[in-house]
Structure formats: structure tokens, C-alpha cells
């Protein structure tokens, strides 16, 4: 479409420009897909504002330009009904993402009775996992004896996180309950429900089930994840540490550090 070869005539972009657009937008698209936004028609102005919110300077301008071109092309080809990026301007004031107040997180797990739900929320709140990652975790990815959880990433090296004693205890409670309820279940996924546990094809739980869990808490998983990363960025100001802890790309890690430390916008980021 951006090459001018779509169904509707348009000005062609150079291959280099398109390559820059793809590089700028890729992390955002992957995050949306992981959150269950698999259809561009589902993307709203709020989704785009949230994607731009942690950014400043050139990274913000690059993503903003790429998203504007992306949705303009989709609308021109009638693949979306509206362009959610059309009215978004970087000249407007955008607040830096801030950590959630501690009183909103305090007692969060105490509001949940199911071990499965408690473990899911802990993995998002403590280790900043995406809902899509929770869906696809397998039982073999969890090594309780070594306190490790492996995150499989297509086309990339697996990311390993090291679990604290609290999260390991939650994982043990869930495994015990799962065995009691469905001792003969052969589903390879770490998280199951009453339908998937007895399904011989071994399907994962749905992303909507996880979304409903966080909806009941009144705290979107994406917001909780951002809060955790921003909090870590405030303490360390080191992109490398964020990459190691959360498996972020260099670009994403730098964005979070700059959002947490606006004073570093014009200077190098020191580890």
C-alpha cells in the first residue's frame, strides 16, 4: 500500500521510508497483538495515545508518523472504517506515565481466591508479563526447583525470569489445585480452566478470560505492566537492567527510562 500499489492511487513511499516505519511501529503492533488486538479496526485513539505516552523527542515523532501513515493507508484501502490516529497531535500535552498509587496495588491479590488468578496477576504485577504470554505458557516452562520461568519468543531467544519465593509459592498452590481438580489432564499449558483442562487437544485458555480477570479487579493488565516497568526504571535508570528483567528491546527499555527520568532527554543514559 505504501509503495503506491494498492487498490487506490496514492503517493509511493521509498523502500527506506517504509523500512523506517516498520521499525518504528513493530513493538507497538506486537504489544497490541499480545493484548488481544488482532484486528486494526479494534484500535482506538486511546490505544494510540497510550503507545505514544511513554515517548518523547525523536522516538515519539517516529512512532507518531508511522502510525499516521499506517492507518491512513488502511483507511484508503477500506481495511478500517475510521482512522484513529488522524486527530492525534504531538503538540498537545501528554502526561508522562506514572506508577500507580501503592494503595491501588496493596491487597490486590487478597481480592482473589483462585490460586490460578493470583498467580496470573502476580506475573503481570511483578514481572510485567503480557496477557498473551500468560496464555501460551507451558507447564515445562516453569522450573520450580530452580525458580525459573521461560518465556518462549518466536524468532527471538527465549527470555528467562527468576521467580521470588512469593511467586513460587503461588505457582505451587496453583499446581496443587490443578492436580486435585483435573488429575488426568494432559493439557500442556500452565494455565487451564474447566473446559481446556479436559480437552484432549490441549488448547490454551482464551485471552478474553485473562482480560475479564483484570476487568474484575478494575485494573487493566497493560496498565499494571507499564506501572511495574516504570517503577523499575525510576529506581535503576538503566535500560540494560530493564532488558534483562522484562525482555524488552533496547528501544522500549530506553523509552521507559526517558519517561521516568525526563532530565535525561538531552544527555546520554548512564547505567
pLDDT at 170: 93
- Longest distance between any two alpha carbons in the chain, whole Å: 62
pLDDT in tens, 70-90: 888 888 878 888 888 887 776
d(CA 233, CA 240): 10
pLDDT in tens, 58-67: 677 788 888 8
pLDDT in tens, 198-229: 999 999 999 889 989 998 888 888 888 888 89
DSSP characters over 154-220: TTS--EEEE--HHHHHHHHHHHHHHHHH-TT----BS---TTGGG-TT-PPPPHHHHHHHHHHHT--
Domains, the chain: 1-93 (1.10.150), 96-271 (1.10.443.10)
Q: Is pTM, for the whole model, over 0.85?
A: no
Question: Residue 120: pLDDT band by 50, 70, 90 thresholds?
Answer: very high
Question: What would the grid cell of residue 32 be?
Answer: 497490541
The answer on pLDDT for 100 being more than 70 is no
pLDDT in tens, 11-30: 555 677 778 788 888 888 88
d(CA 149, CA 35): 20
Amino acid at each position: 500500500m505504501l509503495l503506491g500499489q494498492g487498490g487506490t492511487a496514492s503517493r509511493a513511499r521509498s523502500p527506506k521510508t517504509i523500512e523506517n516505519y516498520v521499525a518504528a511501529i513493530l513493538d507497538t503492533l506486537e504489544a497490541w497483538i499480545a493484548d488481544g488486538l488482532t484486528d486494526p479496526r479494534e484500535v482506538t485513539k486511546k490505544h494510540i495515545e497510550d503507545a505514544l505516552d511513554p515517548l518523547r523527542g525523536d522516538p515519539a515523532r517516529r512512532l507518531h508518523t508511522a502510525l499516521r501513515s499506517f492507518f491512513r493507508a488502511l483507511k484508503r484501502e477500506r481495511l478500517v472504517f475510521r482512522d484513529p490516529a488522524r486527530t492525534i497531535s504531538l503538540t498537545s500535552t501528554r502526561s508522562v506515565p506514572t506508577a500507580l498509587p501503592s494503595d491501588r496495588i496493596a491487597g490486590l491479590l487478597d481480592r482473589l481466591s483462585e490460586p490460578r488468578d493470583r498467580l496470573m496477576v502476580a506475573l503481570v504485577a511483578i514481572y510485567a508479563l503480557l496477557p498473551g504470554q500468560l496464555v501460551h505458557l507451558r507447564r515445562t516452562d516453569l522450573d520450580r526447583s530452580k525458580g525459573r520461568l521461560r518465556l518462549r519468543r518466536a524468532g527471538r531467544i527465549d527470555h528467562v525470569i527468576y521467580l521470588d519465593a512469593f511467586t513460587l509459592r503461588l505457582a505451587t498452590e496453583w499446581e496443587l489445585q490443578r492436580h486435585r481438580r483435573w488429575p488426568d489432564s494432559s493439557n500442556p499449558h500452565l494455565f487451564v480452566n474447566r473446559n481446556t483442562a479436559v480437552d484432549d487437544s490441549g488448547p490454551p485458555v482464551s485471552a478474553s478470560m485473562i482480560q475479564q480477570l483484570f476487568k474484575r479487579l478494575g485494573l487493566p493488565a497493560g496498565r499494571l505492566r507499564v506501572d511495574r516497568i516504570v517503577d523499575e526504571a525510576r529506581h535503576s535508570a538503566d535500560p540494560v537492567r530493564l532488558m534483562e528483567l522484562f525482555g524488552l528491546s533496547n528501544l522500549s527499555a530506553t523509552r521507559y527510562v526517558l519517561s521516568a527520568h525526563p532530565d535525561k532527554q538531552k544527555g546520554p543514559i548512564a547505567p
